[in-house]
Amino acid sequence: MTVLDDRTTAATWPAAYPQGYAVVDVETTGLARDDRIVSAAVYRLDAQGNVEDHWYTLVNPERDPGPVWIHGLTTDVLEGAPLFPEIAAEFAARLDGRVLVAHNAMFDWQMIAREYARAESAAPVRQRLCTIALAKELSLPLPNHKLESLAAHFGVVQQRAHNALDDARVLAEAFRPSLHAAAERNVRLPLLECRPLTEWAASPAQPRIGHQAGYASSYRAGSWRPSRKRPPCPYPNPGRYETDKPLKQGMRVAFSGDTSVDRELLEDRTVEAGLHVAGSVSRLTSLLVTNDPDSATSKTVKAKSFGTPIVDEAAYTQLLRDVAPADG
């Protein structure tokens, strides 16, 4: 029998756990919806978290490279790199049939999904796992949830922070003991569904800005999905959501934490249903939607102190299908 660590063996490995993982890190031109990937790395792991192989590529973002002082990739370095559509097939092959693992996985997944949407394709990813969420699930004694803190906890040495290949290596080495700790305790892995961004429309190409011009703002006209100010909700707030009753138009809904559906798309559907998207939680908030109700975010703490109802994303998307009209 193969011994996986001091206490966990192949025979006692949870049967419900995934059969393979793709540990991913991407470096980008920024953090907004229209920003682009400049480098990507994937470590493929087997069911027990052992490294099978790794892959790395630069990507020409066709625009200013953004915060060079963070990722170190200048316009000159990226000039001869392949465009994303040119590496999309190889990237997809590395992800296919595996759970995408990343530190702050919502960000990496959304950047990857948007690149595939621009290329009129979709990444073959069905689920993702955030190592921040897993660390919380395991109650690891970390001072914060930075990758460097997770690495230090497991004795993993980081050589080049914000280099996609080294960050992916560090995460892969820290994920394996995390996975084994979860298996030993039979902890449910915090897996979330990944849905392709089929609702995004192409935007005009952005002019390339030389690296001497500095870091251009990510928020500008003609962006990947132009931001727009939402009109005020036309319906009065009918009060708090009540369990086993439908949502009612005018209710104030707040969101906290990672979601399977892109946050902006989820908010759009909320508005389209006649509900009000609240940026914060107050006594007037009708409902908080979160997949991590035990987290100590300001929204969940306030919701619990106010007695605001809390539901997860799956329950909320079901409720969105049958929203009651506002009181006449």
268: confidence class by pLDDT, cuts 50, 70, 90: confident
- Cβ-based neighbour number of residue 258 at 10 Å: 21
Q: What are the angstrom distances between the C-alpha of 234 and each of 102, 267, 325, 328? A: 39, 16, 12, 12
Q: What are the distances in angstroms from CA 244 to CA 274, 304, 318?
A: 19, 19, 12
Output the CA torsion 196→197→198→203 (10° steps). Answer: -150
Q: Per-residue pLDDT averaged across 162-182, rounded?
A: 97
- The model's confidence at residue 116, banded by pLDDT at 50, 70 and 90, is very high
Distance from C-alpha of 39 to C-alpha of 158, rounded to nearest angstrom: 18
Cβ count within 10 A of residue 36: 24
Q: Looking at beta carbons, which pairs linking 260-268 to residues 24 or more positions away fall under 8 Å?
A: 260/192, 260/193, 260/194, 260/195, 260/291, 260/313, 261/195, 261/313, 261/317, 262/110, 262/113, 262/195, 262/197, 263/106, 264/33, 264/225, 265/197, 265/199, 266/313, 266/317
Q: How many CA atoms lie within 13 A of 174 on its CB side?
A: 31
Q: For residues 196 and 110, what is the distance between their CA atoms, to the nearest angstrom?
A: 9
Q: How far apart are the first and last CA of the chain?
A: 68
The values of phi and psi at residue 61, to 5°, are -80, -5
Dihedral in degrees, nearest 10, Cα atoms 186, 139, 24, 60:
160
Does the pLDDT at position 41 exceed 90?
yes
Return the pLDDT at 239.
95
Token digits of residue 43: 């470590």
pLDDT in tens, 195-253: 777 655 454 444 443 333 333 333 333 333 444 567 789 999 999 999 989 999 999 99
Looking at every residue in the chain, the average pLDDT score rounds to 86
Helix (H) or strand (E) holding 276: strand 276-278
How much is the pTM? 0.71
Q: Residue 199 has what pLDDT? A: 54
C-alpha span between 60 and 139 (Å, rounded)? 39
Q: What is the arithmetic mean of pLDDT over 46-71?
A: 95
- Any residues with CB less than 8 A from the CB of 46 and at least 6 apart, and which? 19, 20, 21, 52
Sole residue written with tokens 């035990």? 294
Note the pLDDT of residue 8: 54
**What confidence tens digit (pLDDT) does each residue in 185-194 have?**
999 999 998 8
CB contact set of 3 (below 8 Å; sequence gap of 6+): 9
- Tokens read off for 54: 């790794």
269-327 per-position pLDDT tens digit: 898 889 999 999 999 999 999 988 888 889 999 999 999 999 998 889 889 888 999 88
Residue percentage of the chain with pLDDT more than 90: 64
Q: Which two tokens stand for residue 105?
A: 């996985």
Q: Please tell me the total number of residues recorded for the chain in this structure.
A: 328
